[in-house]
Structure 1
């Protein structure tokens, strides 16, 4: 690869990174404007909490996460 090709490649990467930063900054941290959106956000938050409780290491393996696989096989 020539130096020009590498320069063009990094230029494209930089342009994409800049575009992504601008899109994220433009979105900002806007609040949800209607009750439906708030209800959806609350339902997702509750579901995420339930998943964390249901699928933690103690529940799935009946052991703490520091125990090795060799210990569980015995």
Structure 2
């Protein structure tokens, strides 16, 4: 019984540590021009991907329309 309590205590401590560690990182602003250019490139690529791989583009139909070829 004590071993189980120690296990849950360690797991809880690990979860709290990870929450604090990852929470402190946050969305810090980039300090230099290289980082800003990388962020801008990735943001532009993400926008392009969302446009290229949308349901309308991939399936040539809206996601709520029923396919009449299937029963």
RMSD (CA atoms): 1.7
Q: 1:48 maps to which residue?
A: 46
SS in 1 for 2:40: helix
- TM-score, length-scaled by structure 2: 0.81
Unpaired runs of 5+ in structure 1? Answer: none
Taking a change above 3 Å as real, the CA distance of residues 9 and 67 of structure 1, as seen in their structure-2 partners, is: farther
| 1:37-61 deviation digits (Å, cap 9, x = unpaired) | 0000000000000000000000000
SS in 1 for 2:65: coil
Q: How many residues matched?
A: 69
Unpaired runs of 5+ in structure 2? Answer: none
Matches of 2:20 and 2:61 in 1, distance apart? 45
Matches of 1:48 and 1:15 in 2, distance apart? 36
- TM-score, length-scaled by structure 1: 0.78
Q: 2:8 maps to which residue?
A: 10
